Amino acid sequence: MKTVGVIDYGQAGNIYNILRALKQVGASSLVISNNLDFNKVDRIIIPGVGSFPDAIQELKNKELFNPLIEQIQTKPTLGICLGMQILAKIGFEFTKTIGLAHFDAEVKKIQCDEPVPHMGFNKIKVVKPSKLIEGIENEDFYFMHSYEVVNYENIISLSSYGGHDFVSAIEKNYVYGVQFHPEKSREAGLNLFSNFINI
């Protein structure tokens, strides 16, 4: 039985909706709130509501920052929204913050003429096929973000907002990141979780 560990980073992470989506697709899950919990899971989800510096600070407070860097080397991992962003090397939300640095990427404010945050359902344009999005490449996903991951090497898909293309999904060594919220993207989002637990 595969168990997905969902990182609990304090008051900001909305883990409830992710746990509910995992339950809906029949996955067993566990909330990870300390280092020892990692032993009980073989997959990891980093959820995403909050700000980059707060998320990193919370991980450090809970002594999860370094263990998480180690864990994602060997376990399939999915970062969602801010959870994707903190997988990058550096974040520039409010202040410069060092991230988990799995991806050689920076996180910057979206530059476009439309209102920011970018909110609503949007398409993805696949750059490189991935098991994560198999069968749902043409679906819409829900976005809710003011920052984007700037990366050039590990892109699964781009999305477009206000005439500007940004990275909407990334992958490197079984570590995945999605800028959208699969737990808020209807059936397509649930299918993404199914894909992830079957990787």
Give the interface with another protein as residue ranges (CB under 8 A).
11-17, 20-21, 24, 49-51, 54, 82, 94, 115-117, 119-121, 142, 144-146, 181, 183-187, 189-190
Q: Are strands 118-122 and 125-126 parallel, antiparallel or unpaired?
A: unpaired
Closest distance of CB 128 from another protein, Å: 27
Question: Catalytic: which of 58, 81, 102, 171?
Answer: 81
Name the residue nearer to another protein (CB basis): 79 or 171. Answer: 79
Name the residue nearer to another protein (CB basis): 14 or 35. Answer: 14
Closest distance of CB 142 from another protein, Å: 6
Tell me if residue 183 is catalytic: yes
Closest distance of CB 115 from another protein, Å: 4
Going from the C-alpha of 77 to that of each of 6, 41, 53, 113, the distances in angstroms are 10, 11, 21, 33
Give the count of alpha carbons within 13 A of 95, CB side only. 6
Name the residue nearer to another protein (CB basis): 3 or 14. Answer: 14
Tell me if residue 153 is catalytic: no
Name the residue nearer to another protein (CB basis): 38 or 161. Answer: 161
Question: Catalytic: which of 58, 106, 171, 183?
Answer: 183
Alpha carbon distance 30, 93 (integer Å):
29
Both structure tokens of 30: 């566990």
Give the number of other CB atoms < 10 A from CB of residue 133: 25
10 contacts 62 by C-beta, under 8 angstroms: yes
Tell me if residue 112 is catalytic: no
Closest distance of CB 173 from another protein, Å: 27
Rounded to 5°, angle at Cα 144 from 140 and 146: 130
Q: Which residues are catalytic?
A: 81, 181, 183
